[in-house]
């Protein structure tokens, strides 16, 4: 197949729309549904991300994409019990025995608010366990190199039989040059075929130079996630997954604040206080996400727990999770990695990252204020790596 006709482009008024190959065949096969323009942008960016994580780490990988940026990406490590519960997968049979299901459970569960209506990319075959997780989530579609017959059967039942399922040729390699048009003007550049490996982590510029292997793995996952995130972007990572992505901000400190706030929520969702909330049994999964988000919000929690409101969501009124209590939880954290797609121009980024448990930093370096940023990292006992590699993506 050389082309696939789309219902419309980014918006309904943008017609006609299609994806096509000027030479050769499309590397994708639509097994079900009718993916749209943005669906394919998410699918092809997401596939590159998980393929590269698999190549760099050896682990199966998954990502949850929304509007051409990942909400998270993760490798297929077994989830601790509290994380299973926080990700709403503690009842999934056979989860521990399916690395690709573990990868998607992590990716989907990291930022559930942003992942609502996601596009899924898997590095490996979609199996029945993964399909069972996807079955009950609100999702637009999936791309993977293959699907087991049972997984395909399960997924084809979603969205009244219209769920978008795309199979990609894992052997496909894009042309060396890529082009796109903006306002009738054609842009051309070399495909970003940079390989992100541990060799990028050799230059440690801080006094503390100890990086355990599992933290190098987190750095690799974070960097590859940034490679396919709309810039400016910052990514927090922990235990083989991106736990906070700050995408598309004009200021790097705003990227850092956004990514850090998402990482904070990821940690707080796993606390006993949140895991034991007395939810009403008739709440939908999206409602559960929304209520947890409100409960953890300094601004919204008081209104949520007000008399006459809490009964809508809870069987008994929960105790508030105060700002001081949340701060106590977060101040005990350490071992988190932060990565940036371009240099940190000011030390304020590291000051904010420290409040979310960051111990390991990887960034390109090259700022005129590198010395001040290094001093800040040393003050907090951080390990910082200069990769000398910018990862802008637009």
Confidence of residue 309 (pLDDT cuts 50, 70, 90): very high
394 is catalytic: yes
**pLDDT value for 1:** 80
**pLDDT value for 355:** 97
- Asked if residue 204 lies in contact with residue 69, where contact means CB atoms within 8 angstroms, the answer is no
CA 337 to each of CA 92, 207, 235, 236: distance values in angstroms, whole numbers, following the listed order: 29, 17, 8, 6
Q: Which fold has domain 3-177?
A: Cytidine Deaminase; domain 2 (3.40.140)
Task: Tell me what percent of the residues of the chain surpass a pLDDT of 90.
Answer: 98
Confidence of residue 348 (pLDDT cuts 50, 70, 90): very high
CA dihedral sign of residues 38, 233, 334, 59: positive
289 is catalytic: no
Which stretches of the chain are DSSP H helices? 37-57, 81-86, 99-110, 112-115, 128-135, 149-155, 213-227, 252-269, 272-275, 285-295, 301-304, 323-331, 348-354, 370-379
Q: Indicate which residue of 39, 54, 66, 84 is catalytic.
A: 66
Top CATH class of 195-268+330-386 equals: alpha beta
Whether 3-177 and 195-268+330-386 share one fold: the answer is yes
d(CA 222, CA 243): 9
Confidence of residue 272 (pLDDT cuts 50, 70, 90): very high
Mean pLDDT over 28-57 rounds to 97
Q: Indicate which residue of 45, 164, 232, 289 is catalytic.
A: 232
Confidence of residue 28 (pLDDT cuts 50, 70, 90): very high
66 is catalytic: yes
77 is catalytic: no
- Give the strand order in the sheet containing 69-75: 28-32, 164-168, 139-144, 118-122, 61-66, 69-75, 241-247, 233-238, 336-340, 358-363, 383-386
Q: And the tokens for 76?
A: 């297929």
pLDDT tens digits for 172-214? 999 999 999 999 999 999 999 999 999 999 999 999 999 999 9
pLDDT tens digits for 60-84? 999 999 999 999 999 999 999 999 9
What's the mean pLDDT when you consider all of the chain?
Answer: 96
Q: Which pTM value belongs to this model? A: 0.96
* Domain ranges (residues) in the chain: 3-177, 195-268+330-386, 278-317
In this predicted structure, the answer to whether residue 311 has a pLDDT above a threshold of 90 is yes
**pLDDT value for 288:** 94
């Amino acid at each position: 197949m050389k082309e696939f006709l789309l219902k419309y482009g980014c918006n309904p008024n943008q017609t006609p729309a299609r994806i096509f190959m000027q030479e050769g065949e499309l590397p994708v096969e639509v097994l079900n549904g009718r993916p749209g323009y943005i669906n394919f942008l998410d699918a092809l960016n997401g596939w590159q991300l998980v393929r590269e994580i698999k190549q760099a780490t050896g682990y199966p990988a998954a990502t949850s994409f929304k509007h051409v940026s990942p909400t998270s990406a993760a490798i297929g490590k077994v989830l601790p019990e509290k994380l299973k519960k926080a990700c709403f997968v503690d009842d999934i049979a056979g989860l521990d025995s399916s690395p690709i299901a573990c990868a998607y459970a992590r990716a989907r569960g990291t930022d559930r608010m942003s992942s609502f209506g996601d596009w899924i990319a898997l590095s490996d075959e979609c199996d029945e366990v993964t399909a069972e997780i996807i079955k009950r989530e609100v999702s637009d579609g999936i791309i993977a190199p293959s699907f087991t017959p049972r997984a395909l059967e399960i997924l084809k039942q979603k969205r009244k039989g219209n769920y978008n399922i795309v199979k990609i040729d894992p052997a496909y390699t894009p042309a060396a040059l890529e082009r796109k048009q903006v306002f009738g003007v054609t842009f051309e550049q070399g495909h970003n075929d940079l390989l992100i490996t541990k060799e990028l982590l050799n230059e440690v510029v801080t006094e503390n130079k100890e990086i355990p292997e599992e933290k190098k793995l987190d750095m690799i996952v974070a960097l590859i996630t940034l490679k396919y995130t709309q810039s400016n972007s910052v990514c927090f990572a922990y235990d083989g997954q991106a736990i906070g992505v700050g995408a598309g901000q004009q200021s790097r400190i705003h990227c850092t604040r956004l990514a850090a706030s998402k990482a904070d929520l990821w940690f707080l969702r796993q606390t006993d206080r949140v895991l034991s909330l007395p939810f009403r049994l008739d709440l939908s999964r999206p409602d559960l996400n929304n209520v947890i988000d409100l409960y953890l919000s300094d601004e919204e929690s008081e209104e949520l727990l007000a008399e006459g409101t809490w009964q809508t969501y809870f069987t008994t009124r929960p105790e508030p999770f105060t700002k001081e209590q949340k701060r106590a939880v977060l101040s005990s954290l350490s071992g988190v990695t932060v990565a940036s797609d371009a240099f940190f121009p000011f030390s304020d980024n590291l000051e904010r990252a420290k409040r979310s448990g960051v111990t390991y930093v990887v960034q390109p370096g090259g700022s005129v204020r590198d010395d001040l940023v290094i001093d800040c990292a040393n003050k907090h006992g951080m390990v910082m790596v200069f990769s000398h590699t910018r990862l802008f993506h637009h």
